[in-house]
Amino acid sequence: MKSFNFKQQTGFYKGKVRDVYSISNNYLVMFASNRISAFDVVLPRPIPFKGQVLNQIAAYMLKATKDICPNWLISVPAPNVSIGRRCEPFKIEIVVRGNLTGHAWRTYDAGIRTLCGVQMPEGMKENDYFPTPIITPSTKADEGHDEDISAAEIIEKGITTQAEWDKMSNFALQLFARGKEIAAKQGLILVDTKYEFGKTWLPASMSENEIILMDEIHTPDSSRYFYADGFEERQSNGERQKQLSKEFVREWLIENNFMGKTGQTVPEMSDTWVQTISNRYIELYEKIIGEKFIPIELSDEETERLVVEELERLGL
């Protein structure tokens, strides 16, 4: 992806899958690239239309949840670009889990019944529903792997105050409930997801600033979905659940002896496998949005023009 230089640009950050430009210290222009990461490692080949899928699902979900809590998004000037308010992020991810799946299941299957300070019931099978959704936070690492952390540790370390944690965790549970409602209408189960929050950017008085929802929500990069049809039958029979998420990429990597550990090599990604991943992302878009995905390919010049026009409309 090309690097841009916008008027009043004050900073640039290249994340695992996003390129983020700070504009006039108060706004962000966020490009969702076609890069894909797993186990905190960027894989060697981009996935066609992944950026557009992520950006458009995130915009749809942010608009559908803005009555629950304020969020960063202002506009979407191009298929893979969002413009929003700049925030000072809390260095944590708030992971909400409705089912015993993924990292939680691997922990449980190892005989451990406490995750991030949360006690998990005995006698559960993989993919079973928790009695009520649980929150299992993780640190937000600038480099390397995120780490599990408990709510008590978050407050002890001064990452948030008790009041801030209470507000964010309450927002997260409400957002998860809304996400499950939206998914259910499309025949899906929102299994687990993560949320990131920050404070609006007013450096002189950060303690008085509003807490808002940042980044993407309820996308295949941040969430896991199961198909509702046949879920109970598959669960009763001990069968694998049919899912839409990035977990299938992680499973493929594990099968090929890669989990992001030192000395491990990312397996080769064939053209067929890259296209399969792209198709799975598009499938999730069409399932969760309920509309046909329309791929849009714009040149860097066209994308830049649309972003510049929107920044000018915002007075920047």
* Rounded Cα gap, residues 189 and 146, in angstroms: 26
Q: What's the confidence (pLDDT) of residue 29?
A: 96
The domain spans of the chain are 92-200+221-243
Closest CA to 39 of 262, 250, 280, 273: 250
Q: Kindly report the average pLDDT of the chain as a whole number.
A: 92
pTM score of the predicted model: 0.89
For the segment 268-281, the average pLDDT, to the nearest whole number, is 94
pLDDT at residue 135 tops 60: yes
Inform me whether the pLDDT recorded for 203 exceeds 60. Answer: no
CATH superfamily assigned to domain 92-200+221-243 = ATP-grasp fold, B domain (3.30.470.20)
Whether pLDDT at 206 is above 50: no
Chain segment 218-272, per-residue pLDDT in tens? 998 889 999 999 999 999 999 999 988 788 898 899 999 999 898 999 999 999 9
Which amino acid appears at position 17 of this protein?
A: V
pLDDT at 142 over 80: no
